[in-house]
Amino acid sequence: MATRDSGEPPPSERIDLDVPADDAGSRLDQFIASRLADRTRSQIQRLIREGRVEIDRTAARPGTAVRSGDVVRIVIPAPAPAAPRPEALPLAVLYDDADLVVVDKPAGMVVHPAAGHADGTLVNALLHHVRDLSGIGGELRPGIVHRLDRGTSGVMVVAKHDGAHAELARQFADREVEKEYVALVWGLVRQGRRIDLPIGRDPVDRKRISTRSRRAREAVTRVVMAERLDGVTLARLAIATGRTHQIRVHLSAIGHPVVGDAAYGGRRRHPPPHLRVVQRLDRPFLHAARLAFTHPRDGRRIAVSCALPDDLDRLGAEIRDVTRRRAGDWSHAAVPPSESEEHA
Backbone angles phi, psi at 149, to 5 degrees: -60, 155
149 is catalytic: yes
Find all residues with CB under 8 Å of 107, minimum gap 6, and list them: 150, 151, 152, 153, 283, 309, 311
Pairing assessment for the beta strands 220-228 and 232-239 based on DSSP bridges: antiparallel
41-49 helix and 28-35 helix, angle to the nearest 10 degrees: 130
If phi over 0 gives left and psi between -120 and 50 gives alpha, with beta otherwise, what is residue 328?
A: left
Question: What is the rounded CA–CA span in Å between residue 214 and residue 219?
Answer: 14
Give CA torsion, residues 129, 132, 134, 139, to 10 deg: 80
Report how far residue 211's alpha carbon sits from residue 195's, in angstroms, rounded to the nearest whole number.
12
Catalytic residue among 16, 149, 261, 311: 149
The catalytic residues are 149
